[in-house]
Amino acid sequence: EVQLAETGGGLIQPGGSLRLSCAASGLTVSSNYMSWVRQAPGKGLEWVSIIYSGGSTYYPESVKGRFTISRDNSKNTLYLHMNSLRAEDTAVYYCARAVVITGMDYFDCWGQGTLVTVSS
Amino acid sequence: DIQMTQSPSSLSASVGDTVTITCRASQSINTYLNWYQQKPGKAPKLLIYGASSLQSGVPSRFRGSGSGTDFTLTITSLQLEDFATYYCQQSHIARTFGQGTKVEI
């Protein structure tokens, strides 16, 4: 059974940095496309980043230059490094696996999420 | 960026009803469209991928259709456990979610 478990959320001041972790079991992080998706309180879902099995990474403009997705193959863990945090980054952050089929992908497995609150 | 617009934002329905949710992309996305269900306090759950393919384990009362820019999610014979928020998501260029449709009793 595939399981994803996020940790690392908490309260952080504006301008601060935080690293989220997503420990995987039942799948190999380095062999999959892995992503982060966030959800601000009471709002919809927003895609935040993705790392391909080959190592390429992609971000939306809203976080590009501030967030970095990475992985540790030896720990089978996905990370999201967040810098220059803003109040609008406050959200539950989910990690998810993206299954790729003929050029399209979809998120089939999700963690339970970790809450990041950016506030002074 | 590709924008995804869902309608309606919310709807009221009863058990046994058939409901239809629409998702429109700001440009053609072929059939690179997925649907998710989310219940309060829970992670999203994949229902439909590739516009019309049913994810394993998802009841057949969920049906997706469409291509290009216009897509629909239809739920027939609505069950109590189907009251939730539904999101569409494109994967043609980057990834973008719709704003969600809340299905209420």
Q: Helix/strand/coil (H, E, C) string of A51-64?
A: ECCCCCEECCCCCC
Q: Report the C-alpha gap between A26 and A73 in whole angstroms.
A: 14
Find, in chain B, the residue whose alpha carbon is nearest to that of A43: B99
Q: Do B50 and A103 touch (CB under 8 A)?
A: no
Min Cα separation A82/chain B (Å): 19
Do the beta carbons of residue A12 and residue A20 sit within 8 Å? Answer: no
Give chain B positions within 8 Å (CB) of A94: 43-44
Strand extents, DSSP E, chain A: 3-7, 10-12, 18-25, 33-39, 45-51, 57-58, 67-72, 77-82, 91-101, 104-110, 114-118
Query: Which of A36, A106, A109, A114 is the best mutation test for B, with the most CBs of B within 10 A?
Result: A106
Interatomic CA distance for residues A77 and B20, integer angstroms = 39
What pLDDT score was predicted for residue B2?
A: 96
B6 CB near a chain A CB, below 8 Å? no
- Across residues B2-28, what is the average pLDDT? 98
Q: Quick one: average pLDDT of B67-96?
A: 97
Over the stretch B49-77, which tens digit does the pLDDT of each residue have?
999 999 999 999 999 999 999 999 999 99
Alpha-carbon distances, residue B11 vs A10, B5, B20, B29 (angstroms): 34, 15, 10, 26
Chain A touched by B58 (CB under 8 Å): no
DSSP bridge pairs for B19: B75
Whether pLDDT at B105 is above 90 = no
Structure tokens at B99: 């704003």
Question: Would you state the pLDDT for residue A102?
Answer: 87
Amino acid residing at A35: S
Please tell me the distance in Å from A114's CA to the nearest CA on chain B. Answer: 11
Each residue's pLDDT expressed in tens, for chain A with a length of 120 residues = 999 999 999 999 999 999 999 999 999 999 999 999 999 999 999 999 999 999 999 999 999 999 999 999 999 999 999 999 999 999 999 999 999 998 899 999 999 999 999 999
Contact between A73 and A27 (Cβ < 8 Å): no
- Angle value at C-alpha A35, between A30 and A36, nearest 5 degrees: 135
Cβ separation B50–A45 shorter than 8 A: no
What's the rounded Cα separation, in Å, for the pair B90 and A57?
18
Residue A65, exposed/middle/buried by CB under 10 A (0-12, 13-18, 19+)? exposed
- Backbone φ and ψ for A77, nearest 5 degrees, come out as -130, 140
Q: Which of B56, B71, B95 to mutate to test the interface with A (most CBs of A within 10 A)?
A: B95
The CA-to-CA distance between both ends of chain B, in Å, stands at 34
Q: Nearest-CA neighbor of B25 among B88, B100, B94? A: B88
